Amino acid sequence: MERFSRGLYLLIGVLSIGSGIVVLFAPSLLATSDDPGIVSHLLREEAAAFVFIGLMFLQAWRHFDRRRIFHTAFVVFTGLFAAVHWIGLFGDDPVWWPSVVNTVPFALMLITIPRGAEKQ
C-alpha cells in the first residue's frame, strides 16, 4: 500500500501544481469572454490554492513516514471539494459527472488512510 500511496501523492501533487500554474497564468482557458471579470479572479485564487495543495501532496510524498497530518487534511479537503459538487448536483447544476469525478480523490484518500504506528 505504501507504493500506491506514494504514487498517488506524487501524481496528485504534480497534477495540482501543473494545472494550478496553467490556470493562474491563463484563466481564459476556463472562463469565457461573456463571464464577468470576477470569474477570472476567482479562478486565479483557486489555482493558487491548488499550487499550495500540490506542494502539500509532494511534502507527504517526500516525508512519507510523517504523512498522517497531511493525509488527514487531504481527506477533509477532498471531502469538502466533492461535497460542493454533490450539493451543486442536487441544487442548481443537474450535471452528474463532476460529482462522480470529484468523489474519486476523496475515495482514494479514504482507502489510503495511514494505519499503524508512524513517526510524528
Listed by start position, the domains of the chain span: 2-111
pLDDT of residue 90: 77
Distance CA 107, CA 102 (A): 9
- C-alpha cell of 5? 500511496
Q: CA of 8: how far to CAs of 11, 64, 87, 104, in Å?
A: 5, 12, 26, 12
Three cell numbers written together for 61:
510524498
* pTM for this model (two decimals): 0.81
**pLDDT the model gives residue 108:** 93
The per-residue pLDDT for 120 is: 47
- pLDDT digit string (tens) for the chain, length 120 residues: 889 999 999 999 999 999 999 999 999 999 888 889 899 999 999 999 999 999 999 999 999 998 999 999 999 999 998 998 888 777 776 777 878 888 999 999 999 998 765 554
